[in-house]
Structures are given as C-alpha cells and as structure tokens.
Structure 1
Amino acid sequence: MALSRRDAMKFTGLAAVTAAASGYAKGNESPKSAAKGVLLSPAPIPAAKGPRVVIVGAGPSGLTIAKYVKKGNPNIDVVLMDKRSVFMSGFISNLVATGILPLEFITHDFLEGARNGNYTFLQATAHEIDRTAKVVYTNEGTVKYDVLVLAPGIDYDYSKWTNGDVELENTLKTKFPGAFIAGSETLSLKSKIENFEGGVFVQTVPGGNYRCLPGPYERSCLIADYMKRNKIKGKVVILDENPNITIKADGFHSAFEKLYKDYITYMPSSTITSIDPHKQKIVTELGEEIDFTDAALYSRVRGNKLLEIAGVAKDSVFNKAEANIDPFTYQVIGDLNVFCTGDVRPMGFSKSANTANTEARVVAANIVKYMGGQELSQKTWTSPHTTCYSAVESDPLRAISVNAGYAYDETKKSFGFANASTMEKWDSADGLAAGKGLIEWGNGLYRDFFN
C-alpha cells in the first residue's frame, strides 16, 4: 500500500528522531550511537543561571560537594542527581539491621538538602556521558554541564566467586546480599536477622580496599549480640580474606573473646573457592567446608560501572575501574572539567562516609577555585580525615573508634595514614563515651548533608 504524504512525513520524523536518539557515545567521543530509552530533550530542571556543576551520585561525597560548591560561590548553578528518591545511609545501618535503632534514623530526604543548600536535585539515572559536548544523558533527559563530578559509589565484584557465571552472581545478590550498598540490601539484612531462628550465619570480609573496613566486624558483633539477647542458638562465622582484622583489630578481637566467645568464630585468610547458594555450602582455598543457614556475602568491590561508560576508568590490582584522576586535584587525566570523588577515587583512603565527607569539602573548594580560573596542583591538596566509630555491644551501647589523616610518601609515591590513633577499650568509660559519640557522629553527618 502506498504511503500518503502525511504518513511519509510521520515516518520521516520518526526516522529523524531514531537517528538522533543514536546520536551520542561514551566518554569524550563524538555522538554516534545511543542506548535505547534515553531522552535527548533537556531534563525538566530550571535553566542554568550561571556556570553549572553537575554531580552524579548523592551519597556522602555528592551531597557534601553540592552544598559546599554552592556555599563557596552562590553564583554557580549546582545540579545533584541520583537514581534513588530517598537517601539511606550505609553508616549506622548495622545498628538498624539488628534492631538497635529505627529505620528512620538512617533515612533522609534529598529535597531537604536541595532546599537548604539552594541547589537542584534531579532524580534520574545517568546512562551516558558525552565529555566533548559536556552532556549527561539520563532517563529524564539531557543535562549540560561546565564541570562534572562523578561520585557514583561502588559496584560489587563477584568475579572471584563466580568466574563470569551471571546466574550464580544474580542468585548470590538476591539470596545473600552483602548489604554494603544501602537500600534494599539493608532491608533484606534486617529481615534476615529478625527471622533468624538458629544455625550458622556467615559474614564474609573481602580483600582490597573495600567499603567500610570495620563494617563486617561490627556487624558480626551486633548479630552475635542479637543472638545473645534473644537467646538464639546460633553462631556467626566470619570468613575473612585478610590474614587479620583490617582495622581496630585489638578492640574487635577483645569483643569476640570477652562478649561473644560462644557466638563468633573468626576464620582469617579464608579465600573462598566455591559457593553453592542452593545447598548453602562454602568451600575455602584450604579445603574447609562451611554449611550455613543464612549469610551476608560481601564480595570484593570496584568503582561503579559509570566510570567505564564515561571513559574515565582505570584498572588497579584489587579494585577494577577506579577513576583515572590526578590524586591531588581529583581531576580526570586529560579532562580537567571532570572530577571523581568518594569510593571511586584510586587513593588508598578509607571508603567510608566520614572520609568522603571531609574529602568532598576539599574537592568542593577546588571546584570553586578551578571555576574561578585558578590552576589546581599538588600544592592545593589537603588531606581528608577519617573518624569512624564501631559498635560492639548494644546494652549498654559500647563502641571503639579510629581517627586518622593521610600523607603522601614521595619515595613510595603513595598515600598512607598519618597521625592515626585508635580507642579500642570498649569495656571502659571511653567505650561508653564512644557509644554516645557514635550516635552524635551519625547525626553530625546528616546535619552536614541536609541542613
């Protein structure tokens, strides 16, 4: 059947839209091909009233940068985007999962931060980034930027356990999530603990620089505490890929021995060679077989895959796809208009909320300087700071803590702890004070993000 003029015009218009929809590519290449379902019309946000900073990822790093760029120069237009509609923190979440604190404590409103910080929040998923045209492509439309900040957090790296078996990886994620990406995983862990009636609960600890170094050990203490106070006949088995507890070792070992001798079995240097999620059996490199009732299987981590999509990733020994940035300015090598922060940066700083928060203040100041025409260099670098509390008992709430800065070793060409100190006597007055400090520490971070 012949096409009418009107039908031909419709068809031509559709073809043009289809061609346009394929009109961008990854990284700094010219637009050529597009993923399906990405809108080319502008996202529904106000037009920029000045030079625009777009921040992808509204975790501790992104939230802090949005606030402090705007404070540093109110004339800069700031857009913060995240695929989530509600903020839920990973820090403090172990206390929520084990019933010590309510879910509301870690759940907050992105829009409150936008209102108080005078920036724009866009709930959207970034699919592609054209660094030549300076455009972020999202499911809500396009967003143009003058400076882009990538703070998308981590992805899990299951490759050592699954060897590319996608079905196995999906089963592990669904049945035994690591619960170190806040949200559904947090709720899943909370449900697992509340419904645990006895048996073996496995908590794994990955190798490399994973998110929240003390987190798996704190969680193990609090699950054991839950079993103890609810008279559940169970045991937490910690399968640690590392040869010893990675941080606050004296404090955690002391808690394992004095509080949870009948509830925690610590197994260092336990490299997992196979996991059967259906028979619920784990086999380690040493031939040990662990049958388990339930688990939080925390795999190794890597930078979020958005880095590879944006063309700003590099590989490292442990954590694939970290950002290829100048470690002193946080700018992408070869593209000074893109900054990468938080969990995706390659420096060996702690992948923790407090570190990301203090680091983000430095990055925000650098962005303001850069947009004001100043050149950034090693001389502009300031160390982030790590302050971290870990609960070991609920009643009374007792905790241990660490405080540390970082310094660059010119000889080794790497960063390390500087002026580090720990408080690991949880069974002292300091331990009780640290328990109170833990709650205030969390509230202090929330205030800085949202008020």
Structure 2
Amino acid sequence: MALSRRDAMKFTGLAAVTVAASSGYAKGNEGGAKAASQSILLSPAPIPAAKGPRVVIVGAGPSGLTIAKYVKKANPKVDVVLMDKRSVFMSGFISNLVATGVLPLDFITHDFLEGARNGNYTFLQATAHEIDRTSKTVYTNEGIVKYDVLVLAPGIDYDYSKWTKGDIELETALRTKFPGAFIAGSETLTLKSKIENMEGGVFVQTVPGGNYRCLPGPYERSCLIADYMKRNKIKGKVVILDENPNITIKADGFHSAFEKLYKDYITYMPSTTITSIDPNKQKIVTELGEEIDFTDAALYSRVRGNKLLEIAGVAKDSVFNKGEANIDPFTYQVIGDKNVFCTGDVRPMGFSKSGNTANTEGKIVANNIVKYLAGTELSQKTWTSPLTVCYSAVAGDPMRAISVHAEYAYDETKKSFGFANAGTMEKWDGADGLAGGKGLVEWGKGLYRDFFN
C-alpha cells in the first residue's frame, strides 16, 4: 500500500533516528533497519503515562517555560509535558552583555530539569517533526506523545529570502560565517568569539524590518561592541545598516549614546536596503549603490515563525504571513482547532517579540488553558494584555541602561493592537542610567527565577 505524505513523514521524519537504528544491522538488512526506525518513531516516548488531562508544550523558551509552570501551579491535576530539542536553556535576552564580556556565560545558561523538578512537570528532550491534530499526537525522535491540549511555542527562524533569492549556498554561508545571533546558543558563542578576537576594522550590524525579535537588540549590541572597542583601544567602527527609517524603540536614548559616547565608533545608516552580500569578499551592496567592505558582521535577517507551524497546518495561508500562527488573537487558540494554542514569537499580534513579553503572555495563556480544560469558553471578553518591560544596555563598564514599560490595547476601528500606558526611561548619562544598569541585571535574574524556581 502506498504511504500518504503524513505517514511518510511519520516514518522518515528524522534521518538521525534511521541512521542510529541502521548502525546495528549488517549490509543487506536495510529492511530490518527501516522497521526498527519506524518502531522507535511510532512507540510512546519514554515518559510516564498521563494521570490527568495532558498539556503538551513544544518549545521551552520564555513562553513555553512559563506556561508549563503556571498550568501546573493553577491545577496540579493537569499532566504537563514540556519538550525542546535543546538540552540546556540559553536566553537571547542579556546575551549581548555576555557576548561583550560584561557578564559571564553562566548568567544566561540554565537547566531545563531544574524547572521541571521545581514545577512538578515533565521535561522531554526531543525534536517534534510531525503533528497529527486529528489523533492529537506529536511525533518526535523519541517516539509519540499524545495530548489533550497542545501549545506550540517554537520561536522564530530567520528569513534570508530578501538577501539570497533562494540561493541555499549563500544562505548557508551567511548562517555559518555571520549569524544574526538572535537565536541563543551556538550563535551567541560565535558572536562572543568574534568580539573577543576583534583586532579592528568594520563590524556590520544589520537591523531587519517588520516585527523582529528584540526590537532594541541590534542597537544595544552596537553600543556594547563600540564600548568594547573603546575600552580596549581597538581601532574599529560599528556600521549599523537599518532597514527602518529610524531606531524602532528608545530612539532618543540610543541616538544620544551614539552621539555622546560612540561618535568615533558608530555609523548609523537608516532606510538601508541591502541588495547583495558577498560572504567571501565580505562586501555588502545597498539599493543606493553603496559598497560596504566589512571585517566581520552579525547579519540579522528578517524573521519568520518556526516551520513547525506549517508542518502542523496552523500557519496563515498567505506567503507573507506563513511564519505566523493562524489563531484567535484574544484566546491564542488555532482557528478551527481550539485544542491547540500558539504563543510567543509565532503569534501574529504586534506585541514585542521579547522574553519578558513572552513571560507575561505565558501566564495569560496558562490561565486560558486551565479555564478551557474546565469547560470555560474563551473569547475577547476574557482577554488581558501582556506586559513589555525591557532594559537595554548602552554601556558595559560601568553598566548603563535605558528601558521601556508598555501594555497593549485593541483598536476596534483599526482591528489591530497598539501600545497602551507606555513609558520609557532614556536618560543613561546620570544616576538614572546607572540605576538602569542594576535594574537590567535584576530584571534578568527575576525572569530566570520565574522560569526555573
């Protein structure tokens, strides 16, 4: 019998599993190896049987970690399984301070199992490669996991298409040599190594358009790299190529830092569209014909939601929005499937794609899930706003930071969300800036405590 596409993906979703199974078989017994790999993929994952309604969360970032903890906290009878392909948590927020040597690597590195122990939920290190929403089954490299409610919080991926036009070799070179470093982990370590080995020249930091992860992040990083150059007497310059017409958030604070602290170290180029990048010659050409030769770079492309949304069939239909979840913006439930919630960076609402926003949003979604399991119908009336509190360092020694605090409100006329009760603190050059630096560190510690303790 011919296999359907869905069945084929279940059986062949992860080549690594097949290779592992095949290694125990002699040549000529490929059929036995295939059967073994299928058995692994279609057997239950090695976790205890559910003792209540099971909530499965795919993605252990700030949103997923928060949901796992607070669903279990609100109703201990709910069985919660949090899965992630990584074995160790490393945060994107505060990573610029780690990359520039202001804070140690262990500040942003944490143990998933600590969260599971303290939150009394199950952590499964596994990669989800197929989701069957009809049978409520997640297929992973560790086997299958059944759910009553599924949460998809897989985070972002990069969208290099504007730069590469489908050239996979070029995309691979950009990802490998000049990663954007806004997906924490190896990219963070690569950026840290680049900065530590910096001897001078031009470092290019790009800023994408759209609602990308951590709106102030590229500007903060530019300040901290310039600060590193200044402190270590490195003859270099940070060139910021910004798709946007101006700094997207905390503009006064960053512009002031560029001018007063880093006039000789930062060149800011707004409204810059890149038309080509040569990773070998290390040359960028812009729409206006400007040629920028660079010594090193963090090339931050536009972002999109993780491709798991398309695999699960919950992405929006249009090409432009394919990386966003097709959900009710007030309940976070997938249109046509209320048993699936999507949250964090993949949600389509224009909230900040930041760790703190995902954390506060996660508590809202956890509350929604517990209500839904109890039979409550969710609607616009049950919606509450997430909160964005974000600190950005403009200097590392001494640490100085600016900040923003905002909620969101829905505009019925425009049919969209916008800031509400927003306020910023953008004075970095006095006591406020020093207090902001201390506040940044405590803000980070507070988020980690909420995830893992």
**Pairwise TM-score range, normalised by the shorter structure:** over 0.9
The one-letter code sitting in structure 2 at the alignment partner of 1:34 is K
Contact in 2 for aligned 1:100/1:394 (Cα 8 Å): yes
Deviations 1:71-128 (A, max 9, x none): 1110000000000000000000000000000000000000000000000000000000
Asked whether 1:153 is paired with 2:129, we answer no
CA distance in 2, matches of 1:317, 1:349: 21
Asked whether 1:444 is paired with 2:443, we answer no
Offset at residue 318 of structure 1 (A)? 5.7
Which residue of 104, 107, 114 maps to 2:109?
Answer: 107
CA distance in 1, matches of 2:318, 2:446: 33
Q: What corresponds to 2:170 in structure 1?
A: 168
CA distance in 2, matches of 1:201, 1:33: 42
Q: CA RMSD in A?
A: 1.3
Asked whether 1:288 is paired with 2:290, we answer yes
CA distance in 2, matches of 1:142, 1:132: 14
| SS of alignment partner, residue 336 of structure 1 | strand
CA distance in 2, matches of 1:380, 1:169: 43
Contact in 2 for aligned 1:79/1:121 (Cα 8 Å): yes
Contact in 1 for aligned 2:333/2:342 (Cα 8 Å): yes
Q: What corresponds to 2:243 in structure 1?
A: 241
Q: What corresponds to 1:362 in structure 2?
A: 364
CA distance in 2, matches of 1:287, 1:23: 49
Q: What corresponds to 1:12 in structure 2?
A: none
Contact in 2 for aligned 1:209/1:318 (Cα 8 Å): no
CA distance in 1, matches of 2:416, 2:115: 35
Contact in 1 for aligned 2:153/2:346 (Cα 8 Å): yes
Q: What corresponds to 2:133 in structure 1?
A: 131
Contact in 1 for aligned 2:9/2:130 (Cα 8 Å): no
| SS of alignment partner, residue 250 of structure 1 | helix
Deviation >4 Å, runs of 4+? 315-319
Residue identity over aligned pairs, in percent, reads 88
Which residue of 34, 41, 44 maps to 1:42?
Answer: 44
Q: Structure 2: 5+ residue runs without aligned partners? A: 15-37
- Aligned 1:87-236 pairs, distance under 5 A: 87-236=89-238
CA distance in 2, matches of 1:344, 1:326: 13
The normalised TM-score by structure 2 is 0.93
Offset at residue 316 of structure 1 (A)? 6.1
| SS of alignment partner, residue 411 of structure 1 | coil
- Aligned 1:383-398 pairs, distance under 5 A: 383-398=385-400
CA distance in 2, matches of 1:272, 1:259: 27
Which residue of 390, 407, 410 maps to 2:409?
Answer: 407
Q: What corresponds to 2:278 in structure 1?
A: 276
The one-letter code sitting in structure 1 at the alignment partner of 2:307 is K
| SS of alignment partner, residue 138 of structure 2 | strand
| SS of alignment partner, residue 251 of structure 1 | helix
Contact in 2 for aligned 1:23/1:34 (Cα 8 Å): no
The one-letter code sitting in structure 2 at the alignment partner of 1:363 is V
| SS of alignment partner, residue 209 of structure 1 | coil
Q: Structure 1: 5+ residue runs without aligned partners? A: 1-18, 26-30
CA distance in 1, matches of 2:8, 2:94: 44
- Aligned 1:423-434 pairs, distance under 5 A: 423-434=425-436
Contact in 2 for aligned 1:315/1:321 (Cα 8 Å): no
Q: What corresponds to 1:299 in structure 2?
A: 301
CA distance in 1, matches of 2:222, 2:11: 42
Contact in 2 for aligned 1:240/1:270 (Cα 8 Å): yes
CA distance in 2, matches of 1:428, 1:339: 44
Q: What corresponds to 1:257 in structure 2?
A: 259
Which residue of 40, 61, 64 maps to 1:62?
Answer: 64
Q: What corresponds to 1:3 in structure 2?
A: none
Contact in 2 for aligned 1:70/1:78 (Cα 8 Å): yes
CA distance in 1, matches of 2:164, 2:55: 39
Offset at residue 320 of structure 1 (A)? 3.6
Contact in 2 for aligned 1:40/1:142 (Cα 8 Å): yes
| SS of alignment partner, residue 203 of structure 1 | strand
Contact in 2 for aligned 1:409/1:416 (Cα 8 Å): yes
Contact in 1 for aligned 2:389/2:404 (Cα 8 Å): yes
Which residue of 330, 336, 361 maps to 1:328?
Answer: 330
Seen in structure 2, the aligned counterparts of structure 1 residues 24 and 316 have a Cα distance that, compared at 3 Å, is: closer
CA distance in 2, matches of 1:43, 1:32: 19
Contact in 1 for aligned 2:62/2:355 (Cα 8 Å): yes
Which residue of 76, 79, 93 maps to 1:77?
Answer: 79
Seen in structure 2, the aligned counterparts of structure 1 residues 315 and 436 have a Cα distance that, compared at 3 Å, is: farther
Contact in 1 for aligned 2:310/2:322 (Cα 8 Å): no
Contact in 2 for aligned 1:316/1:322 (Cα 8 Å): no
CA distance in 1, matches of 2:9, 2:268: 51
Contact in 2 for aligned 1:209/1:319 (Cα 8 Å): no
| SS of alignment partner, residue 313 of structure 1 | coil
| SS of alignment partner, residue 314 of structure 1 | coil
CA distance in 2, matches of 1:371, 1:157: 36
| SS of alignment partner, residue 10 of structure 2 | coil
Deviations 1:151-204 (A, max 9, x none): 000000000000000000000000000000000000000000000100000000
The one-letter code sitting in structure 1 at the alignment partner of 2:286 is T
The one-letter code sitting in structure 1 at the alignment partner of 2:325 is A
CA distance in 2, matches of 1:152, 1:360: 13
CA distance in 1, matches of 2:165, 2:5: 32
Q: What corresponds to 1:5 in structure 2?
A: none
Seen in structure 2, the aligned counterparts of structure 1 residues 183 and 432 have a Cα distance that, compared at 3 Å, is: same
The one-letter code sitting in structure 1 at the alignment partner of 2:10 is A
Contact in 2 for aligned 1:130/1:136 (Cα 8 Å): yes
CA distance in 2, matches of 1:104, 1:32: 41
